[in-house]
Structure 1
Amino acid sequence: MDSLDTLVIGAGAVGLACAARLVGTSPDLLIVDAEAAVGTHTSSRNSEVIHAGLYYPPGSAKALLCLEGRERLYAWCAAHDVPHRRIGKLLVAVSEAEQSTLEALASNADACGVHDLQALDQAHLQRLEPALHGVSALLSPSTGIIDSHAYLQSLLAAAERLGAQLALHTRVDGLHHDGDGWIASGLSAGQPFRIKAQRVINAGGLFARQLAQRTQGMPAARIAPSHWCQGRYFAYSGRSPFQHLIYPMPEANTAGLGIHATLDLGGQLRFGPDVQYVDTLDYSVDERLREPFAQAIRRYFPALDIQRLMPAYSGIRPKLVGPGEPAADFLIQTSAEHGLPGLINLFGIESPGLTASLAIAERVARHL
């Protein structure tokens, strides 16, 4: 049976970031993923936004790791030629009734350590984005966009340069500790395998809970819940009316931030995501959603041409809470919490997981 120092299960942004961080001190490192390519699920099916860290509870892991991760990510992109741009985001109050919510967001951002927000009145907002309807806004200059696929490839390349190896089509079906290390077993390219590792990172994303359930000795009470939350996107054909990312006020009693407008690096405008909890992996986007999307978008973009809205793609986030429940924090579960040596479980790594990925990897390294 082959033996190695570190096994990273899951080749999304967080798993690859962990591999790139750990391989310098653990060159005998293997990354495995059940899919045919890296980042197949949550990491490549999102808004591709580098978040500034405005929304999360001050002092929470999401707030701290987003802020640290944002700066690490911008530096990584510059050092590794990953396409990105600090495009800026407008948080918009479309009516006077939303002004208090906007002010609360500004206060929360300040408490989180984000001190560069700029308040805009209606006149300033109209000069900046003439097609946008709103009575006031906050400009977040630290918000950006990134080519998530190029980022994933850069992490993989950095890890492989220092000796890490990647095995795709490789599913871990079970983990158990034999007193001298972790035995991982499963299927690789359809063939059974067993491998031994001293340290294991469960960065399984949507499937992290299932892997924890198949980990011998894992206390049932320490296996975090997982709720799959789908978000769908529509593209807007033709030239974009906006130069910035546009975010309405967060919707009350939902798991999302509202249907916002984002741009990719090619200038393509897209709207989303909405929020729908699902039980199965379903990445389809129903054309019948066009009208509900249009209704939400017209609140801040009255001139929307519904015929230019085209179904684009969807993603699914692993949430720790279900519909109507308060938002949960990232859960970076260490040996001190579950009692098993050399194992770290990463649960509920949803937004801002891409932005925070390098900071999450740094925290994982400190715990090993």
Structure 2
Amino acid sequence: MQVYLVGGAVRDQLLGHPYHEKDYVVVGATPEQLLAQGYQPVGRDFPVFLHPDTKEEYALARTERKSGHGYHGFEFFTSPDVSLEDDLIRRDLTINAMAMDDQGKIYDPWHGQDDLNHKILRHVSDAFSEDPLRVLRVARFAARYYPYGFTVADETLALMQQLAQSGELQTLTAERVWKETSRALMESHADIYFEILRQCGALKVLFPEIEALFGVPQRPEYHPEIDCGIHTFMSLRQACKSDYSQDVRFAVLVHDLGKALTPREEWPRHIMHEQRGIQPVTEICDRLKVPLQTRQLALAVCKEHLKCHQAFNLKAGTLWRLLQRLDVLRRPERVKAFVQACECDARGRLGLEDREYPQAQFLLEAMEIVRNIKAQDLPPEIKGPDIGEMLINKRIEAIAELKHACPELK
């Protein structure tokens, strides 16, 4: 029995990229042998075991054969006769098809080190095109390793285009698409994930609402980059640059979907695009089964982002009602996330990436002020329904005072 460290841990160790998970492949063993040594079985489709002490994953070397459609359309075969090379050739990219023994020796039958050195994401074999999930994985790796200068090999991109055109992407479950996408959103260059999907034709299959933004113009005095799709990716880049949460990044990604629904005769103006965006944001969240908290912020940013930009021009009562809709008293973190997403929208514009956005600090100060006005601070003679009404009046008055003292309005 021989044990090898495989996949991402080997790749990232050679690249000098931080990693946390370690996966191992076991050659020349049976499930019974691992069970006898105290390994715990966890694999449903093929034998995967947890180490009795470290709880790291150990998988028996295996081969696979396409037997149906989609990510699950495979039959797996394990045997002590399956070699390390047999196991590695079924992997997606050459840089993921390397192994290391306990002495630190690298096994690289598919030239992953060469591609690592040349910064190329290249498929191992034509079996790549049998698994549609690999389109998303390659796009995610492209986003992760973009700072190192990695690009997708032309022949790999061609296979991804074939998969996008074949209908295989539609066999992916919502859970798998969202899992890959949510992970990609947290990469330092999440926009590259969506850009690669667009290049291979997968964006219009999996995210047609985002694809529809490309080619839609905006007013150049507000959007020097003009194109709605370019603006969306630039805004997402701002969210990544600031290391904002996954919820904020997703909200930024979908904040302008309504602009794709603006009638052509109204271009480049997009009046009512916030309201028009509610339906496509809801549809994309429904289709991908996006978590409730993520969906709620996305819808709030879609509907209200212009009000954040216009904060200094809004009446105090209007600002209070905006904060109320954001659930300021119970969920101040949502207000903060909302402001962050709006800031990314404001800065995701050509030549305006470093612009000041004082509306952010203004709304956060307003949030703190209204949260600090509590019922126990009211005169004791105020009773019953009058308490709620006076609290609202006090909060609106406090916002008005904040506006009066705001240097941007002087």
Normalised by the size of structure 1, how large is the TM-score?
Answer: 0.21
Higher helix share: 2
- Determine which structure has more spread, i.e. the larger CA radius of gyration: 2
Higher strand share: 1
